[in-house]
Amino acid sequence: MAAAAPDPKPRLNVPPSMAAALRLDPLGASPSPSRRLADATKTPSPSKTTYSDRFIPCRSSSRLHNFALLDSPSSKDDTTAYSRLLRAELFDSSSPQPQAGSPNTNLFRFKKDTAAATSPSLPPHHHYCAPAGSADNTASPRKPPRKVPKTPHKVLDAPSLQDDFYLNLVDWSSQNMLAVGLGTCVYLWSASNSKVTKLCDLGPRDTVCAVHWSREGSYLAIGTGLGDVQIWDSSRCKRIRNMGGHQTRTGVLAWSSCILSSGSRDKDILQHDIRVPGDYISKFSGHRSEVCGLKWSHDDRELASGGNDNQLLVWNQRSQHPVLRLTQHTAAVKAIAWSPHQQGLLASGGGTADRCIRFWNTANGNVLNSLDTGSQVCNLAWCKNVNELVSTHGYSQNQIMVWKYPSMSKVATLTGHTMRVLYLASSPDGQTIVTGAGDETLRFWNIFPSVKTQTPVRDIGLWSFPRSHIR
């Protein structure tokens, strides 16, 4: 007779007592026959809750997969079947299989969670919750914020410094000479020896509306109330050019290499070439109100202009029309600054109804960021030593603010002027700024680090210098 084929699924002879134990309820307890009969004949009241004397945590939130099931010291066949069934009830199919023949007699054994221990995103004891604000002991200590002196180290009187948002009456040359327009006169103050020189007097019928140094620092351009643009040689205190073209006051000037741009209340921007005898070589017409902001990019390829029509325009020399017309500001745009660290990055600030500093990518005209400063933005200047910028403000806080770019975290807030901080210029070394206001004072602040040391200039106090007059 042929032998019977072996059963692919081996049968298990389970004693009756063990069979009863295998019939587990969802909580893992073995119901008695009387309880099973009661469950079949009577539905429990909703108000009564029956609790088991055993608790098995939810698999999804527990770490039971870290425990390996071992063999029981009972019969090998019976315990293997019992272990399989118990494993199926307690664990999912992905749990590790028990190792046969283990000498340990415990039902469970703790297994190290190697995945969590090797995870780079969690510390080895990630079940421990560190207190808020605590840092890893192995992390490097955070660099303390740079300290900026809160008071000016020098204050100069500037009688007749006009409180006019649309004018630009202060500029600092690359030869360390400060030019200030006071009424009908322009004064030069040497930062190296504090010597004051009267450059010119325009007479009783004219006023100074703008001053701007050429890049080499030897020539000063002056915009007048009658609409003229004058070029002066500062070393000889002599006027070398007078160029007309504007119908009314010239309130803003900007030098490139050999081109001087002038903006006026007549809404036009004129391009003056000091190498040719004519008044101007081209005219840009795009604003619908007074032009009050004007800046050339550092590579002389683009000219940004802001006006009282709330527009920011970007021009180049190849076209008589703006290549960008940016209209997001809701007030006059006087504050304009090109980044010296990133080509095509332009910052602009709006007046009282806007109060925002906006950053633009002039390659496509996109807004990169916008920040509400809470006050009228009068001026912006980028630091050439570090990626920070300073803004001066008018209504209503009259403050000076230093910002870190691109996070726009506030480095410092400086106060001292009692009126709008309408004028701003930076020193040649990039560490000091001078601010002017309608309170007829010029204040010098050490706010930026030097190129080499990257440390702030030491504050020497408000009263360390005698209070001197600009004239």
Side-chain-facing half-sphere of 182: CA atoms under 13 Å: 23
Is residue 369 over pLDDT 80? yes
Q: Which two tokens stand for residue 90?
A: 């307690």
Is residue 230 over pLDDT 70? yes
401 forms beta bridges with 391, 413
Is residue 64 over pLDDT 90? no
What pLDDT is attached to residue 51? 57
**pLDDT tens digits, residue range 428-462?**
999 999 999 999 999 999 999 988 644 444 333 33
Please count the other Cβ atoms lying within 10 Å of the Cβ belonging to residue 113: 15
| CA atoms of 401 and 469, how far apart (whole Å) | 26
| CA atoms of 140 and 259, how far apart (whole Å) | 50
What pLDDT is attached to residue 141? 63
CA angle, 378 then 384 then 390, to 5°: 25
In the chain, what percentage of residues exceed pLDDT 70? Answer: 68
Q: Look at 258 and 299; give whichever has higher pLDDT.
A: 299
> pLDDT class for 54, splitting at 50, 70, 90?
low
Q: Look at 453 and 302; give whichever has higher pLDDT.
A: 302
Q: Look at 333 and 75; give whichever has higher pLDDT.
A: 333
> pLDDT class for 85, splitting at 50, 70, 90?
confident
Contacts of 147 (CB under 8 A, 6+ apart): 456
> pLDDT class for 52, splitting at 50, 70, 90?
low
> pLDDT class for 86, splitting at 50, 70, 90?
confident
Question: CATH number of 154-469: 2.130.10.10, 2.30.30.40, 3.30.2010.10, 2.60.40.10?
Answer: 2.130.10.10
Task: Find the mean pLDDT for residues 149-163.
Answer: 96
Q: Which two tokens stand for residue 285?
A: 């017409």
Task: Find the mean pLDDT for residues 251-262.
Answer: 94
Task: Find the mean pLDDT for residues 383-403.
Answer: 96
Element spanning 221, H or E: strand 219-224
Range with the largest mean pLDDT of 58-62, 113-117, 330-334? 330-334
Q: Which two tokens stand for residue 142?
A: 């955070």
Element spanning 22, H or E: helix 16-22
Q: Which two tokens stand for residue 302?
A: 């683009």
**pLDDT tens digits, residue range 99-114?**
555 444 444 444 444 4
| CA atoms of 87 and 72, how far apart (whole Å) | 13
Please count the other Cβ atoms lying within 10 Å of the Cβ belonging to residue 127: 10
**What pTM does this model have?**
0.68
